[in-house]
Structure 1
């Protein structure tokens, strides 16, 4: 039975993660953080003069930091005439700032909880629509997604695993994964999340046509529960 559910996974490129780090670093400056907090608490856009007056800053200082926040895409810039007039003599529109729609998240070590959440939510929805057991749907969808990642990225296995936060290390003929991108979930829901991860990595191997390796559960403290070893 067709359900109409499709998992869409959008990878976060390295440059996007670098931009998130830069944005967070921009908020480390105390005056800039105060300005950001002030702008996002307001119901409407804020001008340089309004922000400077509210925080007791020189207008030039407020303008510098507001523009830096806009440059990091943490604030959006809009232009409005505050006089209420239009046409000749109405004056130039004021430069105003408001919270942007950008979401910033940086996690070290790398975590991929959004990916796990999407897979789990899709499994629940499809199970509810079809009656198929949730865990069976989850394993199938995870494997399909892994194959998709392998087929679409056109890269080597170790590079792909590194890209998605697994921190792969060669150990003889096997590959161990020093980091679990789903660590906190795996600690509380081990069987569910490790099973999902196992099938995800089986799909990756299929997508990359890595017939010489197989994914198996081999939990070791401080590592991902899955190990890639020579196929039997």
Structure 2
């Protein structure tokens, strides 16, 4: 938009209006001639700053043309990059910070009265939570066992951000799920892990019963890896071996045809190592 005070004023009026306004209404508000207002509106329309709408005529005559300001979307991709950079240069530490932020988010949510006593309870609560957040979760009944279950996240609202900032975006979602499960009684007997992009448009949450884990095993999982980096999504003795490690070729293979369908074996290449995955994707 050129440096035009009349057009800036018209745009400000339209942004503050609760409904479309026509040229005559804008002329009355601004004190400009209606022909001048129409000229400025045509310029704003060409620059995609306002949008035209047909409105019912007042009495006889042609329909009126109403105008409304185009709402610019926030640059979430850029915002995520800025936030990720502020969390430090280490992807693992960014993931830890994101998980902590997700837990803080979960702690602020209105308490959900769904006590967790069984795996079925945990599945119901997770599906309810992620449905409310727009993830369109689906249960994967074919992969369920007495000790674990998969929930397919088919519509992540932040999917595009997660492709380049998975350690941040997915870390927040993982922390949120863990906190909500813990608050409803699952702290001692339930864990959730998140497997981002087992398919190009699909992430999977895995719920696991932890009743058989010992204090010694828990303490071991909390130790740093051999590289000195903290674990992001600890594996348990109940996890199949193919879910314990992730390499760059394995992450790439998540888009291969043999992974279509998202049954349990298809997760073999999609462990929740958000830090490594994000680094590879960049």
What TM-score do you get using the length of structure 1 for normalisation? Answer: 0.45
What TM-score do you get using the length of structure 2 for normalisation? Answer: 0.39
Greater Rg over alpha carbons, structure = 2
